[in-house]
Structure formats: C-alpha cells, structure tokens
Amino acid sequence: MSDSNRLVGQERRSDGFWACLALPGVGWLALFFLLPFYVILCVAFGTVDPIFQTPSPEWNPLAWNTAAFEFVFEGLFTSGAAFQTVFVRTLAYVAIATALALLIAYPVAYYVARYGGRWKGLLLVGLIAPFFISYLMRMLAWINLLQDDGWVNDVLVWVGILDAPRNWLDGRASSVILGLVYGYVPFMILPLYAFLDRIDKSLLEAARDLGASPFQAFRMVTLPLSMPAILAGIVIIALPMFGDYYTPDLLSQSPSTSMIGNQIVLYIQGGQQIPVGAALVVVLMLFLSVLMGYYLYATARAQRRLGR
C-alpha cells in the first residue's frame, strides 16, 4: 500500500518535472507565434489611420471590423476575380512542384540510405552544400543560367534538343515551378533519408524470403513504411511554397505567373489597404491549417496501420 502510494507520488512529481521542460517551448511559441499572429489578426480586423493611411490595429475582438475579410472572400469566391485566379494558380504550382520534388527526392534519399554505405555522410553533405547559399542568390544564378545566351540554352542546343535558344525567362509557369522545386527539394530529401535509413533491413529480407520481387518488396514494405516521411516532406515544402513570392518575381516577372504571395506583398508593401493584405495572410493560414490538420490525421492513421 505505502509502496504503491510512493510510486504514484513519484510519478506525479516526475510528471510535473517533465511538463516543465515544455515551458521554454510554450513560452517561445506564445511570444513569437501567438502574439504576432494576434497582431496580424488585429491589423486585418482593424482600420487605417485617417491621416497617414497606415494600419491602426483593433485590439478589442468585440470591435473587429470585417470589411477587409469581406473584400477578400468576395474576391476568392467570385469566379474570374483576381484573388481566386491567383489562389487556384498557387495551388496548382505548389501541387506540381511538390509532386516533382517528391519524384526527385525519393530516389535520391533511397539511394543514399540504402546504397550510400560509408559515403552516406559525404553524399548528404554534397546534396545539402549548395543550399548553404542564400535562396535569393541561387535564384539569381538561375536567371543567368536560363538567359537567352545562358548555359541551359547552350547545352540544350549543343545536344540538339533545341534548334534555337529558348527564352526561358519569358514568364513561363514551367520556370517558376522549376525554381520552386529546386529551391525546396533538399527539405524533402532530408526527412525521407532520415526515415528510409531507419527501416529495418530484416523486414525487406523477410519480404524477399516470402517470395516478393524487389519491386513488390518496395511497394508493400518500404513505401508504406515511408508514408509518414513522405507526408512530412510534403508538409515541410508545401507550406513555405504557398507563401513564396520571390520565385515568380525573379524567374518570371509576368503577371500571368503571380502567386498569392505576390498579392499579399502588393497590398502590404504600399498603399492604404494593408488590412486586406493581412486578411489574405490569415485566410491563407486557415487554409494551410486545414492541410496541416489532414497531415496530422493521416500520419496518425499511417502509424496505426503500421501497428505502432
């Protein structure tokens, strides 16, 4: 009796102790995420200063002004309106870029994890090293590569794929998607590698022993096992892609490839409709939280399926 009481007491104490470890994280989130997010909400639901035309946030939720949201929703739900067009385009670009990134990242991660051997570390560093350079610099480098007289055209013409140099920077959706894929692919490779590397090889051997072909073993063992990593990779790269605006700005500059981030920048950087920009941010965030919710649900389901 007394023994078990002591045990319970100990567990309680240690529970409190472990919970305290979460405090710095919780404090950090509250200070640098919840508070700024509340400020954005207050700007989106606020008014503008009558003299300076700068935003005056409305701190009291009871007095929130919904005009900016009405404007944004009107634009999102009117077919052919600016916000809807840009939102659908963004969705398409992100979906295509994420799929391409997965197609590129999976084999790379698989190769490094399974066949990297003692070169694993070096291969990983080699893959990641270019990404120590700032995103902006890498996009600027692409501008040089893709120019009329750039190396991409030189190579394609030399190999004979193209007869004449192509104007890749001609406001093409493909250039923007290429930029997105290139910019974010390492963040797909890393989680996939981390997960694939941990897959127990004996499971694959068991599959082969039970008569599965290598492809069947991959399809029925490796792929389901790596599902949580695929989902994590998709989330990690899709979220920042949704807010991207500099990739279309640098690689296209054409209005016909602008993304939702470009509209946000347009409204936030100048003029007196900053609440509209803030409302766009909030709406985008709500949309992403739905995706995030699905991710949490899907990973939980995948884990359950794996019987963990």
Residue entry with tokens 């870029």: 97
Could you tell me the smallest distance in angstroms from the CB atom of residue 154 to other proteins?
Answer: 15
Q: Tell me: does residue 154 bind other proteins (CB under 8 A).
A: no
What is the 3 state secondary structure string of 214-264?
A: HHHHHHHHHHHHCHHHHHHHHHHHHHHHHCCCHHHHHHCCCHHHCCHHHHH
Residue entry with tokens 């803030």: 278
C-beta contacts of 256-260 below 8 A and 24+ residues apart: 256/171, 256/173, 257/89, 257/171, 257/172, 257/173, 257/176, 258/86, 258/89, 259/86, 259/89, 259/90, 259/93, 259/176, 260/83, 260/86, 260/87, 260/90, 260/284
State which residue, 174 or 213, has the beta carbon closest to other proteins.
174
List the one residue from 39, 67, 96, 100 that touches other proteins (CB under 8 A).
67
List the one residue from 86, 230, 232, 234 that touches other proteins (CB under 8 A).
86
Q: Tell me: does residue 150 bind other proteins (CB under 8 A).
A: no
Local structure of 13: helix, strand or coil = helix
Stretch that binds other proteins, among 67-75, 125-133, 180-188, 235-243 (CB under 8 A): 67-75
Distance CA 99, CA 281 (A): 24
Q: For residue 190, which amino acid is it? A: L
State which residue, 14 or 78, has the beta carbon closest to other proteins.
78
Q: Tell me: does residue 15 bind other proteins (CB under 8 A).
A: no
Do 115 and 197 meet the contact criterion of CB atoms below 8 Å apart?
no
**The pair of three-digit structure tokens given for residue 83, joined into one six-digit string:** 């916000």
Could you tell me the smallest distance in angstroms from the CB atom of residue 242 to other proteins?
Answer: 16
Do 175 and 201 meet the contact criterion of CB atoms below 8 Å apart?
no
Angle at 204 between CA 203 and CA 205, to 5 degrees: 90
Could you tell me the smallest distance in angstroms from the CB atom of residue 67 to other proteins?
Answer: 4
List the one residue from 71, 131, 218, 246 that touches other proteins (CB under 8 A).
71
List the one residue from 82, 139, 152, 285 that touches other proteins (CB under 8 A).
82
Could you tell me the smallest distance in angstroms from the CB atom of residue 276 to other proteins?
Answer: 9
**Binding marks (x or -) toward other proteins, 23..42, rule CB under 8 A?**
--------------------
Distance CA 54, CA 272 (A): 6
List the one residue from 42, 76, 83, 193 that touches other proteins (CB under 8 A).
83
Name which of residues 239 to 298 contact other proteins (CB under 8 A).
Answer: 252-258, 262-263, 266-267, 269-273, 275
**Binding marks (x or -) toward other proteins, 186..225, rule CB under 8 A?**
----------------------------------------
Distance CA 97, CA 284 (A): 18
State which residue, 44 or 190, has the beta carbon closest to other proteins.
44
Residues lying near other proteins in the complex (CB under 8 A): 46-55, 58, 63, 65-68, 70-71, 80-83, 85-86, 89, 147-148, 167, 169-171, 252-258, 262-263, 266-267, 269-273, 275
